[in-house]
């Protein structure tokens, strides 16, 4: 009799469990408010917020997994085969327990040393298996590496006062830090930190471009081509560097109804002099000698990357990925819009590690090229 009762109880429990699963709305099983073991669920598409690669095989992605109910959890992924497959990594406790965390950026200097940041800083020295919050550096707005040299730009803002910025540098992949010379004040907004080699770097912000060639000890104010272009305005700009001398700038005008005036500038001397190479052919734009370049009017400025000094890539929200193989003079759609961003869910970020290998993040996918952008292959990312 006891055996019969036990079997009956098991059948009842199984029926209740099945009933609860069947009642869940579509997608609900793919997310949870917090992952019990510190690893975010892997069945929902990953909203990629940042990508980083250290070579042609090793990369990491950070983003959010969101279900049909709107509940989202942070997620971290890693690849060891160039992005063909991705594995879930433990998410730092800070991201899982905080309801206000804005940590959405990731950067690795080596296969072992990496950081999650914005505005807090968490470090790993085992490839992302474990993370520790680094309380020595706070208010992080940008981080860049050149080998084991790490630069972190922090900013603190008070009402009615200019924001104070500090550059913190490390020569040993973040084991130790020291303060560098204070760069010019940075106003609230998007800030880029470019660091192609141990002693060279640039900081780009709204109407501000400064450079250093002595490891951040002194800074030189340079002409910001976006601020100097009277046909544009402070509505979006992106800079990219290749080596210690080549800089490109993608400048955007006021966006409206999916359209935005854009200009591309190129510098071969570290930002001291700029040449306008292409612009959108809107009636009010300044014409180039020989006519306008092929810069699309559709889409909003979002990202810029260089695979060689003459090969550039622009990422456009409400648009797609465009490439240039002639120094920024002409641009072509590298991935069809319907394939890259057909639902306007957003694309980017983007990274190249050499002339051949590059990656572009999208909703639930990562696009990968191994031939310098001639072809792009999409890999699901969940």
pLDDT tens, residue order, the chain (382 aa):
444 444 444 444 444 434 333 333 333 222 233 333 344 444 678 888 999 999 999 999 998 887 777 778 889 999 999 999 999 998 887 766 554 455 689 999 999 999 999 888 999 999 999 999 999 988 899 999 999 999 999 887 777 776 778 889 999 999 999 988 776 666 667 789 999 999 999 999 887 899 999 988 888 999 999 888 766 666 789 999 999 999 999 998 888 888 888 899 999 999 999 999 998 876 655 555 545 667 888 899 999 999 999 999 999 999 999 999 999 999 999 999 888 876 676 788 999 999 999 999 988 889 999 999 999 999 988 7
Residue 5, Cβ density class (10 Å: 0-12 exposed, 13-18 middle, ≥19 buried): exposed
What's the DSSP call for residue 171? Answer: S
- DSSP per position, 328-356: TSB-EESS-HHHHHTT---EEEEEESSSS
Q: What is the dihedral of CA 119, 120, 122, 123, to 10 degrees?
A: 70
Total Cβ atoms within 10 A of residue 289: 5
What's the DSSP call for residue 181? Answer: P
**Edge-to-edge strand order for the sheet containing 300-308?**
300-308, 311-317, 321-324, 332-333
pTM, to two decimals: 0.83
């Amino acid at each position: 009799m006891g055996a019969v009762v036990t079997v009956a109880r098991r059948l009842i429990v199984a029926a209740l469990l099945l009933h609860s699963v069947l009642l869940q709305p579509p997608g609900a099983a793919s997310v949870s408010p917090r992952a019990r073991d510190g690893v975010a669920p892997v069945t929902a598409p990953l909203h990629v917020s940042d990508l980083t690669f250290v070579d042609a095989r090793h990369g990491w992605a950070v983003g959010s997994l969101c279900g049909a109910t709107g509940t989202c959890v942070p997620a971290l992924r890693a690849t060891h085969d160039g992005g063909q497959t991705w594995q879930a990594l433990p998410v730092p406790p800070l991201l899982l327990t905080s309801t206000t965390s804005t940590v959405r950026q990731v950067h690795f200097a080596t296969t072992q040393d990496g950081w999650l940041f914005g505005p807090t800083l968490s470090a790993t020295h085992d490839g992302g298996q474990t993370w520790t919050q680094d309380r020595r550096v706070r208010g992080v707005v940008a981080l860049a590496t050149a080998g084991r040299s790490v630069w972190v730009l922090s900013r603190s803002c008070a009402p009615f006062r200019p924001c104070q910025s500090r550059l913190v540098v490390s020569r040993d992949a973040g084991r130790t830090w020291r303060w560098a010379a204070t760069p010019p004040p940075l106003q609230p907004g998007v800030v880029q930190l470019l660091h192609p080699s141990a002693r060279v770097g640039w900081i780009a912000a709204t109407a501000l471009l400064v450079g250093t060639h002595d490891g951040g000890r002194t800074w030189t104010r340079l002409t910001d081509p976006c601020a100097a272009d009277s046909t544009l305005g402070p509505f979006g700009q992106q800079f990219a560097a290749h080596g210690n001398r080549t800089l490109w700038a993608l400048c955007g005008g006021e966006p409206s109804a999916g359209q935005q005036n854009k200009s591309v500038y190129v510098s071969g001397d570290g930002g001291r002099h700029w040449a306008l190479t292409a612009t959108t052919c809107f009636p009010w734009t300044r014409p180039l000698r020989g006519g306008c370049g092929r810069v699309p009017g559709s889409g909003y400025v979002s990202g810029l990357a260089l695979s060689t000094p003459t090969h550039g890539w622009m990422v456009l929200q409400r648009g797609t990925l465009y490439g240039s193989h002639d120094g920024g003079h002409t641009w072509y759609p590298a991935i069809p819009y319907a394939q890259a961003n057909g639902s306007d869910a957003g694309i980017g970020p983007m990274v190249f590690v050499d002339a051949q290998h590059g990656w572009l993040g999208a909703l639930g996918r990562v696009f990968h090229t191994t031939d310098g952008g001639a072809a792009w292959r999409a890999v699901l990312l969940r």
